[in-house]
């Protein structure tokens, strides 16, 4: 533990909702007790960042440094930190794991009691810019050359993991989709699965279904350009709702002799969430909600759907207990058991961060990785 100084560095600041991010010089304070300052090497851009930036997020705070899908190395540690040392290769975690709260002690969940609301656990910020305090985001704030995170929001991973590639995506998108299939749905060999929305999360779900041994994996999207890519991750067939006049759930029920065993909503559209449930087979079908719906939106279906044996579930970060699981996921990637770099369609310098958002909104990218 060495007394660290304030660092001046570049960060992408969201000054207000709906405006492009602005690359600014920010001051990053040293880590306090049980905090770690991390040099970010690469960060992904996720729909959750865009959701908050758009102003639709009821919990969104401005000005803020967004970003929650990053990878880097430890620059310095605060007092009392024993699990990390400068130079360690790390991935920040937006779902922390303290190991002590009732959530962490319960094997049924990967959630946690801690809620920071845009600040560090001591209710202060480590970021300032032009004399103004900036909020943290999801306890990670990876759109900055340096960030400060709580020690329980950080995973130490294989030091040989290449930070310039897709490994940062294990901090959100890939782990979320893959775990939704493996942990939340617990897809079995021989099953039929339907995946709604073929962005990064949907493709990761497909990868999870394939590794679990599903025999039919149906990809559903209104953008047929995504079908070829989805095939490389393991999708066996495709349905474009635009090609059909009847509701998509009816199309799927006919296509699968009564419905699918597992369905996954990877969009955040409450109408599709209903369709995904109703596409499930009577008696045993399970539907998992992964997409984040807009503020105040509600899901609906007829109770009869559930009474007749369907199950409706949701998942966050793929059900992985983060601190213990992310290092294992990185090992699986290093051992070629997980496709990771295949999700990266674009690599851009940090200064072009707004372009990464444009690519995502245009549906032209799976994931763009920014190199800092």
pLDDT in tens, 92-119: 999 999 999 999 999 999 999 877 679 9
Question: What does the alpha-carbon distance between residue 85 and residue 148 come to, in Å, rounded to a whole number?
Answer: 14
Residue-wise pLDDT tens digits, 270-296: 999 999 999 999 999 999 999 999 889
At residue 113, the pLDDT reads 85
Residue-wise pLDDT tens digits, 136-178: 999 999 999 999 999 999 999 999 999 999 999 999 999 999 9
CA-derived radius of gyration, the chain = 20
Q: Examine the pLDDT at 72 and tell me if it is beyond 80.
A: yes
In contact, 155 and 90? CB cutoff 8 Å: yes
Q: What six digits make up the tokens of 128?
A: 């300032």
Cα distance from N-terminal residue to C-terminal residue, the chain: 26
Structural domains in the chain, CATH included, are 181-317 (3.40.50.720)
Count other C-beta atoms under 10 Å from residue 123's C-beta: 9
Residue-wise pLDDT tens digits, 362-372: 989 999 999 99
In contact, 16 and 4? CB cutoff 8 Å: no
Query: Using 50, 70 and 90 to split pLDDT, how confident is the model at 315?
Result: very high
At residue 336, the pLDDT reads 96
Residue-wise pLDDT tens digits, 220-251: 999 999 999 999 999 999 999 999 999 999 99
Count other C-beta atoms under 10 Å from residue 164's C-beta: 13
- In this prediction the pTM is 0.95
In contact, 357 and 18? CB cutoff 8 Å: no
Contacts with 302 (C-beta within 8 Å, 6 or more apart), sequence order: none
Q: Mean pLDDT, to the nearest integer, of 26-54?
A: 97
Q: Peptide bond preceding 203: is omega within 30 degrees of 0, i.e. cis?
A: no
């Amino acid at each position: 533990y060495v007394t660290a100084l304030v660092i001046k560095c570049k960060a992408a600041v969201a000054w207000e909702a709906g405006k492009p991010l602005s690359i600014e010089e920010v001051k990053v304070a040293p880590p306090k007790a049980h905090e770690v300052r991390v040099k970010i090497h690469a960060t992904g851009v996720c729909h959750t960042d865009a959701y908050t930036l758009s102003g639709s997020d009821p919990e969104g705070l401005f000005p803020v440094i967004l970003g929650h899908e990053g990878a880097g190395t430890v620059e310095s540690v605060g007092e009392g930190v024993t699990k990390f040392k400068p130079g360690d290769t790390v991935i920040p975690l937006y779902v922390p794991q303290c190991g002590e709260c009732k959530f962490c002690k319960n094997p049924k969940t990967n959630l946690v009691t801690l809620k920071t609301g845009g600040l560090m656990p001591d209710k202060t910020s480590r970021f300032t810019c032009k004399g103004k305090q900036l909020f943290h985001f999801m306890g990670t704030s990876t759109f900055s050359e340096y960030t400060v995170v709580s020690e329980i929001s950080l995973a130490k991973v294989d030091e040989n993991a290449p930070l310039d590639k897709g490994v940062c995506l294990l901090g959100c998108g890939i782990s979320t989709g893959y775990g939704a299939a493996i942990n939340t749905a617990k897809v079995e060999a021989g099953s039929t699965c339907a995946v709604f929305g073929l962005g990064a999360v949907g493709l990761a779900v497909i990868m999870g279904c394939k590794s679990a041994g599903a025999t039919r994996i149906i990809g559903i999207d209104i953008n047929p350009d995504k079908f070829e890519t989805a095939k490389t991750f393991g999708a066996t067939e495709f349905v474009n709702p635009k090609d059909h006049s009847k509701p998509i759930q009816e199309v799927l029920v006919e296509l699968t002799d009564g419905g699918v065993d597992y369905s996954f909503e990877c969009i955040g559209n409450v109408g599709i969430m209903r369709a995904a449930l109703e596409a499930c087979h009577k008696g045993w079908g399970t539907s998992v909600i992964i997409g984040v719906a807009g503020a105040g939106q509600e899901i609906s279906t007829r109770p009869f759907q559930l009474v007749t044996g369907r199950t409706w579930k949701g998942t966050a970060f793929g059900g992985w207990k983060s601190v213990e699981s992310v290092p294992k996921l990185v090992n699986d990637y290093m051992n070629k058991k997980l496709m990771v770099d295949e999700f990266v369609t674009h690599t851009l310098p940090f200064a072009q961060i707004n372009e990464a958002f444009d690519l995502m909104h245009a549906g032209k990218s799976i994931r763009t990785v920014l190199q800092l």
